Amino acid sequence: MAAGAGLALLTALLAAAAAERGRKVSMQYNPGWNDSSVNLLHVQAVGPRDSLHYVWSSIGAPAVLLVATQSPSSALRVNWSQLLSPSPAGAIWIEPPDSVVYSTAVVFTKLFEFSEAKPLGELFYPTYDLAEFSWDSLNHTLNHTALTAELRGVPATDPGGGFSNGSLAFQITAFEASGRAGRLPSLLHTADSSQLEFILAGVAPRGNSSRFVLEMATVEEAGAVRRLRSQRSIDDEYTPTIFEVLSLLAEPPNSSSTLGFLQWKATAYGSRSPRREDGIQCRAQGLHQPNGTLPMSSIVQAYFGHSLGSSCTVSALNVTFGGEEGEVYREKRYLSWSVLLGFGEPPRDTFSPLVISIAAVALGTPLAMLLLGTCLLLLARRRRYSEYEPIN
């Protein structure tokens, strides 16, 4: 076990070193289109030898496309008239096409709301279909310094009036270097990733103990599959409690290497300035490959085209917010959940010195014994010196 911990530490250090490469990030709103009634944000993160393209959009269901290329000068192309037509397949591509090494997409499809209705079990309210939302223009939320943008929307028709004082938003942050978010849940990031914060604010719940479920779907090519991995992280310094870190990894067939990931901590927050006590438990459920075709976002159809129905693998997953503390949302009317999206291996938490020493002692490693011995020796010496002091 001690060797395992050592190995984990080494791997973490290597990962941190690998993540040091910086990127130059640029953000462009609706490239080549002079109209702000639709949202398409192109984020390009250029490295020395490669470049990552993120395409965020609310045309159809909100979605992001991530394309990794092995050329710093690869470019995104959009045929707008085709993208906004009923058959968008082929309207988005990367030039040169052979620079593409990996493509994936994440679509946020639906928001479910349910209440515990004893003794009947769970009572579901009518579903909010995110493809049927109307979205504000993202243009005025773009901050080219902070590398942030926000996609904010409400249902196009809202007979229940639940959204009359509220909205649903996706806050996007791009990164030029690795680091850690200042706000809880203090996710680690690298220059190969972007962060997304899902925010439900001011939306009236339809039940006294309403809980929300966000459904999302991923798209992979060439037989790659998504696998959910759960890890315990003892992350005392940054999120002072024991957290579960979940990673939805994209893996090529017959290989355990990682092409891309979504990563989050098993907690959401019920406050605009989150503190530990505002935590709302979150669970991931039901990762599967849906039988029928999911209602897909236009940009996903535009990029993956006709292979969506044949060679692409679609996986869907539900993230449920709220466990026993079902009342939190009713009181706070605020829910925020952060997730990191990126290319390659997800970042790993390195252990803080405190945790390493606790682990070492707990494991009773020879090193810990040695350290302990040295400490005792030093203490004993100091004791002896102090014993002499009064005499002098």
Ligand X SMILES: *[C@@H]1O[C@H](CO)[C@@H](O)[C@H](O)[C@H]1NC(C)=O
Specify the length of the chain in residues. Answer: 392
Q: Which stretch binds ligand X (CB under 6 A): 46-54, 97-105, 314-322, 337-345?
A: 314-322
Q: Residue 52 or residue 78: which is nearer to ligand X going by CB?
A: 78
Closest CA to 137 of 38, 34, 30: 38
Q: Cis omega (within 30 of 0) on the bond before 97?
A: no
Give whichever of 78 and 100 is closer to ligand X, judged by the CB atom: 78
Query: Does residue number 30 form part of the binding site for ligand X (CB under 6 A)?
Result: yes
Q: Which of 93, 112, 125, 238 binds ligand X (CB under 6 A)?
A: 112
Q: Does 145 bind ligand X (CB under 6 A)?
A: yes
36 versus 257: smaller Cβ distance to ligand X: 36
- Closer Cβ to ligand X, 236 or 327, answer by number: 327
* Shorter beta-carbon distance to ligand X: residue 70 or 208: 208
What would the x/- binding string for ligand X be over residues 192 to 231, using CB under 6 A?
A: ------------x---x----x-x----------------
How far does Cα 241 stand from its chain's mean position? 20
CA dihedral of 342, 111, 329, 288, whole degrees rounded to 10: -60
Residue 350 Cα distances to 1, 136, 178, 203, angstroms: 17, 39, 13, 37
**Is 86 among the residues that bind ligand X (CB under 6 A)?**
no
Query: Which position among 79, 271, 281, 352 is part of the footprint of ligand X (CB under 6 A)?
Result: 79
Binding mask 273-312 for ligand X (x = CB under 6 A): -------------x----x---------------------
| Cβ-proximal residue to ligand X, closest one | 286
Subset of residues 148 to 177 that bind ligand X, contact rule: CB under 6 A: 161, 164-165
Contacting positions for ligand X (CB under 6 A): 29-30, 34-36, 79, 81-82, 112, 139, 143, 145-146, 161, 164-165, 204, 208, 213, 215, 253-254, 286, 291, 316-318
